[in-house]
Chain A
């Protein structure tokens, strides 16, 4: 299989194109702009549309229009841009429109800076906009996964008629690694509900309005049922040396790469450390963490936020074992040494 040395931000576009993406609407923002650059370069060549929208808000609403029209459509941004898009994402979720949103998150709050941070966890994983909805969230930790999830995201979006996020950080977007491209042909399901500008579809309507509280409750419950099925069927998780682990590091994205190196170092010293990496943040690997909570002595969540992922881990561990947090913010990435020392500290105390 052909290998290419690529930036994460370019790999996700190539994955999307392999998945048969029809259109891209987006607004420039560091550190996500290379996604727009690649989309601008390639989409017209594959018979698609690239349009630089006038704003983040316009972009997500163009996505809404294209998704309603039956397209495979995507957008990408970084944290402040995602904040702006949230209303539109809520509309997509409410109207059950499949689309893909890439968030190359950066440091906040406010203007913050453009260095990597993972502080979008709450606004991406917990719904983020108004209303009772959630989006599927994929969390790649390599350039290969940026490509692979670029394909998977569209399949999941269409399968469940829901927006799907690819949540990465500035480093996953900016780094380069080899990518092997799968030789797959896009498998795009029929969308009889979509608006195609044809006689057959001119009785279709795409909306999220339900005036009657009972009707809206029914609709919201239907969405929750869908999320439940997603939780049952779509959890993806990477467990690394957890079999006999006494301490398990939990992290996603770039933090999981660091955690993995720490685990290797600790194992060399015969310290029984392992790592659990959620590849899907929603659905969250509840069962896997629940199981580990019975066997390990403690958890250490490693994240580049003020402790957002750790809340979800603690909910599942539910007080059975200590769940520690090692966090760096502001655009700082925890070093292997820092995390290593933190584990040693925890192990000494316990």
Chain B
């Protein structure tokens, strides 16, 4: 093939340019630590990396929800334990009233029960992070108010459950809010006042606070049949609270196992993401030094070629 001036210069220029481009890409990959700089580097990996990034974000939101749920559950658990021991105390006061010998002693017992009542009311209005834990979803509303003279207990919360997302999933069809069924990765973290204390929202029926108040009244009036009724009622209350303690325990252990599973999943996904987008520094460095060697060789050849022509030899 006849080799002319234009050929050798054009070819040299293009080859040097290609080498430089390769070195540029590699140095960008090594310095940024990321091999996917634009979607065009690898469109499939890029979109997978996007989805994985978003999955990790969603999993982290589950972790934050689980932490919230765990804190809430622990606050509920400790409130129920205290309530349970108050009910036990009230019950033992009532049982000791059977042997009470006079109205003076009964009055003392009644005031003791009064103290228990106000503590129980405080527990019913327990707050976690400024939220009333027994008010359903109306967490900014104090759960219970009580008129101690009439014994009327008012539940100010609602019967809804706070549902947090702790796993991927879809709860039924996406529709405007009409129903409130759980499922689809949702965990319900709270117990409503009604679950814990019994009774109805309107304040009707008998709940733990009513029962304690009734005991207080029976003791104050020295009404022994009233005290006996109260003992039975408090026994039922104790069982009710323990059942709820069991249910909150189940929720808490469920959250803990979900968290353990999630941390494994997140670690895996981060590994996947890293595979998609991180530079394999070792192989990039090797490629870089190879490209450098080739570039230097190309430059040397170019400078040698520069002198290899007849005119320069003839002119000595």
A binds B: no
B interface list, Cβ under 8 A from A: none
A residues contacting B by CB (< 8 A) are none
